[in-house]
Amino acid sequence: MSDLNDEASVAKPTAFELVGGEARVRELVDRFYDLMDLEADFAGIRALHPDSLEGSRDKLFWFLCGWLGGPDHYISRFGHPRLRARHMPFAIASSERDQWLRCMAWAMEDIGLAEPLRERLLGSFFETADWMRNRNG
């Protein structure tokens, strides 16, 4: 008979749980877009967004919840994210990728995510953001 509390049967927390659930994901997304709107360093990626960021905030929140291992709000509303296809109309080169990553790194730090979690997430964000590039440069 196995012990239900042994290490093999204990599920590791998801990144969604480590971040702190929906409220913290919303806080992260809101800080990300606040920074994008306020900081000149992010003017390149801000220009790719509509005047109002409300829809963008919601879509990133819904997407990140599922991407981090929480509820699949985005998929339930829109189906598969098809990230690259959905971003293809926007010119995304290394500059835009790097702005997005710096903005997200700053937002994660501002909301107080622990450094090891920030580093882990930034690595995953880099892989996704790098895959989104559709222009040279």
**CA 131 and chain centroid, separation:** 14
Q: How far is CA 112 from CA 35, 37, 109, 119, in A?
A: 15, 20, 5, 13
Distance between CA atoms of residues 12 and 27, nearest Å: 23
Domains of the chain: 16-131 (1.10.490.10)
Give the mean pLDDT of 19-46.
98
pLDDT of the residue at 137: 79
| pLDDT tens readout for residues 104-120 | 999 999 999 999 999 99
- Tell me the whole-structure pTM to 2 decimals: 0.90
